[in-house]
Amino acid sequence: RAKSEGRGTCRFFDPAIGAEIRERRQLEHDLRHAVARAELELVYQPQARVETGAVIGFEALLRWRHPERGTVSPAVFIPIAEESGAILAIGEWALREACREAATWTGSASVAVNVSAVQIHGPHFARLVHEVLFQSGLEPRRLEIEVTETALIRDPARALHTLRSIKALGVTVAMDDFGTGYSSLSNLRTFPFDKIKIDGSFVRSVHSNAQAAAIVRSVLGLGRGLGLPVVAEGVETAEELRFLAQECCDAAQGYLIGRPAPIGQFAQHTHGGGRVPPTPAEAA
């Protein structure tokens, strides 16, 4: 392979390069072909209204089915894709796929798509969103873009411009992992978010840690004050959900509501009427 990379790029084995770095390079190489080889898929995790339990939307989460390694977590491959630039093709695929899928749903559930710093700072992101909405026929208000505050700080002016452009299309913008960044409050003021997602690390500690409970309460108060709905991430237990209900949290997402899964498992919510098509196991 060294030869095909041309003159002056001959490689030699360097024992000083750790196995970790070699592995990362291998993944980086494999990632470049993941879209073309159809190795990526989206799983969906439901979001429910705390008060009623009604499913109001789904977050699309990437999975990479690596031919040799099995399923690779986005926590592993997204940072590599961001560094190598592969995230542009991967992110575009995820956006197209999520919108195409959501446009087939009979109900009005929204679809949330995670977007990286590289995409937000690229020059064509708003145009891409516009084009994908047009092509899929998905109503703009059913699309939600999730960004973490760390995705915005490289060039805040540019990021702000992009967010305004996609909001002008009628798309919702949610601040992901709220509370884990450097200056969540000032970022909330700078950027035109429509929604706050409290990071799961706070939610999962509400019963063991008084600070976490106070933080979740404050974020909910903040959301009320700013007129922004708040979604709690990472809800795993009935106790956590009860706490969120007491504190008037709008929506919840987490293993208690449903684990991320292929969209077919949620057919009763995406294809309406409460009629649940039997799963193959049930039908058998």
Residues 33-92 that bind ligand C2E (CB under 6 A): 45, 61-62, 73-75, 78, 91
- Shortest spacing between CB 74 and ligand C2E, in angstroms: 3
Candidates 222, 224, 198, 203; CA nearest to 213 is 203
- Shortest spacing between CB 84 and ligand C2E, in angstroms: 13
Number of neighbours of residue 210 by Cβ within 10 angstroms: 10
Tokens read off for 112: 């949330």
- Segment lying near ligand C2E (by CB under 6 A), choices 131-139, 157-165, 185-193, 253-261: 253-261
Give yes or no for residue 181 binding ligand C2E (CB under 6 A). no
Q: How far apart are CA 165 and CA 162, in angstroms?
A: 5
92 binds, among Mg ion, ligand C2E, none (CB under 5 to 8 A by kind): none
Give yes or no for residue 176 binding ligand C2E (CB under 6 A). yes
Residues 205-234 that bind ligand C2E (CB under 6 A): 233-234
Give yes or no for residue 115 binding ligand C2E (CB under 6 A). yes
User: What residue is closest to ligand C2E based on CB?
Assistant: 254
Give yes or no for residue 177 binding ligand C2E (CB under 6 A). yes
- Contacts with ligand C2E by CB under 6 A: the residue count is 23
Q: How far apart are CA 223 and CA 196, in angstroms?
A: 7
Candidates 245, 258, 174; CA nearest to 206 is 245
Three-class secondary structure assignment of 205-226: CCCCCHHHHHHHHHHHHHHHHH
> Measuring CA to CA, how many Å separate 262 from each of 61, 240, 266?
10, 25, 8
Give yes or no for residue 238 binding ligand C2E (CB under 6 A). no
* C-beta of 82 vs 146, nearer to Mg ion: 146
Candidates 173, 197, 198, 175; CA nearest to 187 is 175
* C-beta of 262 vs 277, nearer to ligand C2E: 262
Give yes or no for residue 146 binding Mg ion (CB under 5 A). yes
* Contact (Cβ atoms closer than 8 angstroms) between residue 160 and residue 190: yes
Tokens read off for 55: 């499913």
- Shortest spacing between CB 34 and Mg ion, in angstroms: 20
75 binds, among Mg ion, ligand C2E, none (CB under 5 to 8 A by kind): ligand C2E
* C-beta of 73 vs 211, nearer to ligand C2E: 73
Tell how strand 40-49 and strand 55-66 pair up.
antiparallel
- Shortest spacing between CB 241 and ligand C2E, in angstroms: 11
Q: Give me the amino acid identity at 210.
A: A
Radius of gyration of the chain (CA): 20
User: What is the contact surface with ligand C2E in residues (CB under 6 A)?
Assistant: 45, 61-62, 73-75, 78, 91, 94, 114-116, 146, 176-177, 200, 233-236, 254-255, 260
Please report, as ranges, the residues that interact with Mg ion according to CB under 5 A.
114, 146, 176-177, 233
